[in-house]
Structure 1
């Protein structure tokens, strides 16, 4: 029986592995090679330049501005998304306390799940158009219209270099919370309700239930969420392209590496230099994921 199982498993995995190698691994390897050339997308035999493209990155202010912005994204977007999503998930699953001898979510939790998840089904272009109207820099914008009624001057949410990146981060958090509410809700549903009910019978309040029971038993899910959100923080291309002024502006205040890669590759057609940026982004992302998994590793709690 065992001898017949291995051919079945190999045959079942052969096609997916082949597709992964062709469409994922192969492009990565090609990008690493192109990063060592001055290829402009036309010549069949690009000139090999070694590490010259990577050396130029050290003097590229737009590149370093994008790296700094990724740092801000890493520090702001994942924590905000996780905290908000955890709060909502807790309220939707056990925030209602005990009813009929069992833990329940707040009233209308099923409806709230659908509402929270709605931003996930919207295309990025739709989200961009929506928040362009919300962030409009005059009183016709939703936010500035409300501020005007309070007697506050309009704010240039997307045209002020000090506010533009934070405004886009707010959109990223808004769009991402719904998915992580569902993810954390799935993690909480796997925790036996008896654990919450026993703690509630012992007099544990919502604060204790959240910090002493929910968080420790949800740690693996939180770890996965942090890695996913960190990877998302190294992207941001679509929203920045749609919402930012002049593609990463004003004055490179919102630029990110994927946007710089796109502008370098399809503007002056410097595919070699753009690939060098892509390789740098690849190693930054891999390093972040590995460090996060290492730092947040802890003994698994069985229940």
Structure 2
């Protein structure tokens, strides 16, 4: 056996435990769920009649799926730009030389590593219409309090607020890493030319931060399509009043573990995958505008 072959065999043997785990817990569930999407199965019976594409047809005929798709798209459209803009603003502020900077960085990152299920009670209290903190500030400002949890008009607002709160720290930390990788020579040259702070931000910071922004754009978009926990924490199994908080992932959860229509739920999971895949391809077209520092 040659040295190159022995080295390859050794490498694959070292990778084998990881490959086995990936195969058992990632590849096999993906393939099996795709197969199940062509069957009618309630998880309780061994009988699984083959229905072909019927599950996929029913999905697009279901009005509740249209509601879930609309709510998910609205969530993505609002959540992604808001969390990116606030994350960049936070990163710029944290990048400044201020006292207790490590403490502020930790404070912003804590929501991302804190279980949302554990903080759900706090958010229910904040949005409570009787003694909630949000209505308290509205009354102090002379404004009319709102029924945040029972009014369908505020459902998406509530979900987006919690989503931004939870992910802001992570986005800010990634932006902060990108800011600290920009060479100070660019700013020193701009100072010599008499550039204003806004000109330096628009002509230096934003272009050189484009790889980080592009990475976060794809990441937060995928994360937005998977919105589920915020809804479950606030509304439980109701998905908000009049299904105003129904999203694609919540729809899949309801069909699979509420109605026990596992084949239908698997089909809806692959519809969600296809939608995310199309959005990701569209975002990849923006890669030509990404400026990588030489």
* Band the TM-score falls in, shorter-chain normalisation: over 0.9
For residue 15 of structure 1, report the CA deviation from its aligned partner. Answer: 2.6
Q: Check if 1:207 corresponds to 2:198.
A: yes
For residue 245 of structure 1, report the CA deviation from its aligned partner. Answer: 6.3
Q: Check if 1:287 corresponds to 2:262.
A: no
Aligned partner of 1:99 in structure 2 is: none
Aligned partner of 1:52 in structure 2 is: 54
Aligned pairs, number: 292
Aligned partner of 1:113 in structure 2 is: 105
- TM-score normalised to structure 1 length: 0.89
Q: How does 1:144-163 map to 2 (within 5 A)?
A: 144-163=135-154
| Range with bigger deviation, 286-295 or 12-21 | 12-21
Q: Verify the 8 A CA contact 2:210 2:290 in the aligned structure 1.
A: no
Aligned partner of 1:28 in structure 2 is: 30
Q: Verify the 8 A CA contact 1:164 1:244 in the aligned structure 2.
A: no
How far apart, CA to CA, are the structure 2 residues paired with 1:246 and 1:22? Answer: 31
For residue 114 of structure 1, report the CA deviation from its aligned partner. Answer: 1.2
How far apart, CA to CA, are the structure 2 residues paired with 1:74 and 1:239? Answer: 14
Aligned partner of 1:41 in structure 2 is: 43
- Secondary structure of the residue that 1:44 maps to in structure 2? coil
How far apart, CA to CA, are the structure 1 residues paired with 2:137 and 2:290? Answer: 49
Q: Verify the 8 A CA contact 1:159 1:245 in the aligned structure 2.
A: no
Q: Check if 1:239 corresponds to 2:241.
A: no
- List, as ranges, runs of 4+ consecutive aligned residues in structure 1 with deviation greater than 4 Å: none
Structure 1, gaps ≥5 residues long: 97-104
- TM-score normalised to structure 2 length: 0.92
- Secondary structure of the residue that 2:266 maps to in structure 1? helix
Q: How does 1:77-116 map to 2 (within 5 A)?
A: 77-93=79-95, 96=96, 105-116=97-108
How far apart, CA to CA, are the structure 1 residues paired with 2:244 and 2:169? Answer: 27
For residue 8 of structure 1, report the CA deviation from its aligned partner. Answer: 4.5
For residue 45 of structure 1, report the CA deviation from its aligned partner. Answer: 4.3
For residue 13 of structure 1, report the CA deviation from its aligned partner. Answer: 3.0
- Secondary structure of the residue that 2:171 maps to in structure 1? helix
Cα displacement string for residues 235-287 of structure 1 (whole angstroms, at most 9, x for unaligned residues): 11111111136521210101112212121112221111111111111111122
For residue 296 of structure 1, report the CA deviation from its aligned partner. Answer: 3.7
Where is the helix percentage greater, Structure 1 or Structure 2?
A: 2
For residue 217 of structure 1, report the CA deviation from its aligned partner. Answer: 1.0
> How has the CA–CA distance of structure 1 residues 285 and 141 changed in structure 2, closer, same or farther, with 3 Å as cutoff?
same
> How has the CA–CA distance of structure 1 residues 90 and 9 changed in structure 2, closer, same or farther, with 3 Å as cutoff?
farther
Q: Verify the 8 A CA contact 2:218 2:283 in the aligned structure 1.
A: yes
For residue 87 of structure 1, report the CA deviation from its aligned partner. Answer: 1.1
For residue 194 of structure 1, report the CA deviation from its aligned partner. Answer: 2.2
How far apart, CA to CA, are the structure 2 residues paired with 1:286 and 1:271? Answer: 22
Q: Check if 1:174 corresponds to 2:165.
A: yes
How far apart, CA to CA, are the structure 1 residues paired with 2:183 and 2:18? Answer: 36
Q: Verify the 8 A CA contact 2:120 2:233 in the aligned structure 1.
A: yes
> How has the CA–CA distance of structure 1 residues 55 and 172 changed in structure 2, closer, same or farther, with 3 Å as cutoff?
same
Aligned partner of 1:187 in structure 2 is: 178
For residue 112 of structure 1, report the CA deviation from its aligned partner. Answer: 1.7
Q: Verify the 8 A CA contact 1:92 1:109 in the aligned structure 2.
A: yes
For residue 72 of structure 1, report the CA deviation from its aligned partner. Answer: 0.6
Structure 2, gaps ≥5 residues long: none
Aligned partner of 1:273 in structure 2 is: 264
How far apart, CA to CA, are the structure 1 residues paired with 2:241 and 2:234? Answer: 11
Aligned partner of 2:12 in structure 1 is: 10
